């Protein structure tokens, strides 16, 4: 029977530590997304209720988290606009938004599939699954189909 040396154990432990460190670094680098939990959520210029309202978003509007400060979250939207939102008005549910003027929603994951609908800029969908570069989505009215990831935000 072959004996394991202390050097082999040390190398093995170093390899495990390296893999765990890489996994933590990769997960830490993943973007965090939230949505507006109701219609009329104010996006403000600073993290307080006295700050200027920059714009207002509708329910399920997706936002990327940039940082948190107390009960406030700094976010950026699909157009690159930044602002602050009061945390209780946000939800962790995942939604995507159409970022082009018009996009063909298809019955399958590819351009060879029939078009179900043409969807417009700013329409929000719930992502259901991913197949390569295609994402299956569902609108609140129940319409379901596939959109290429270059047509929506976010895609991760």
Mark whether 101 and 148 lie in a shared domain. Answer: yes
Mark whether 112 and 124 lie in a shared domain. Answer: yes
**Is the CB of residue 36 less than 8 Å from the CB of residue 57?**
yes
**Is the CB of residue 78 less than 8 Å from the CB of residue 97?**
yes
**Is the CB of residue 65 less than 8 Å from the CB of residue 72?**
no
Segments forming the whole domain that contains residue 132 = 96-153
Mark whether 103 and 148 lie in a shared domain. Answer: yes
Query: From residue 66, how far is each of 48, 63, 81, 109, 135 by CA, in Å?
Result: 16, 9, 12, 31, 24
What digits encode the pLDDT tens for the residues 122-144? 999 999 999 999 999 999 999 99
Mark whether 86 and 101 lie in a shared domain. Answer: no
Give the residue ranges of DSSP H helices in the chain.
Answer: 6-28
**Is the CB of residue 97 less than 8 Å from the CB of residue 76?**
no
Q: Which CATH number goes with the domain that contains 68?
A: 2.30.30.40
What digits encode the pLDDT tens for the residues 101-127? 999 999 999 999 999 999 999 999 999
Task: Give the integer Cα–Cα distance in Å for 54 and 152.
Answer: 23
Mark whether 76 and 122 lie in a shared domain. Answer: no
What digits encode the pLDDT tens for the residues 51-95? 999 999 999 999 999 999 999 999 999 999 999 999 999 999 999
Q: Report the pLDDT value the prediction gives residue 5, as an integer from 0 to 100.
A: 58
Mark whether 100 and 134 lie in a shared domain. Answer: yes
Task: Give the integer Cα–Cα distance in Å for 117 and 123.
Answer: 12
Task: Give the integer Cα–Cα distance in Å for 45 and 67.
Answer: 14
Its pTM stands at 0.79
Q: Report the pLDDT value the prediction gives residue 118, as an integer from 0 to 100.
A: 97
Task: Give the integer Cα–Cα distance in Å for 43 and 107.
Answer: 36
């Amino acid at each position: 029977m072959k004996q394991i040396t202390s050097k082999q154990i040390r190398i093995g432990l170093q390899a495990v530590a390296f893999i765990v460190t890489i996994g933590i670094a990769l997960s830490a680098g993943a973007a965090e997304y939230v949505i507006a939990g109701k219609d009329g959520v104010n996006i403000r210029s600073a993290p307080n209720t006295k700050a200027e309202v920059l714009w207002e978003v509708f329910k399920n509007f997706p936002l990327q988290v940039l940082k948190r400060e107390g009960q406030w979250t700094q976010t950026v939207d699909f157009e690159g606009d930044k602002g602050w939102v009061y945390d209780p008005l946000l939800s962790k549910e995942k939604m995507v938004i159409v970022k082009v003027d018009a996009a063909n929603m298809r019955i399958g994951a590819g351009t060879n599939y029939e078009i179900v609908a043409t969807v417009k800029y700013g329409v929000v969908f719930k992502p259901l699954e991913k197949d390569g570069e295609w994402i299956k989505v569902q609108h609140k009215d129940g319409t379901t189909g596939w959109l290429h990831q270059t047509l929506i935000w976010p895609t991760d």
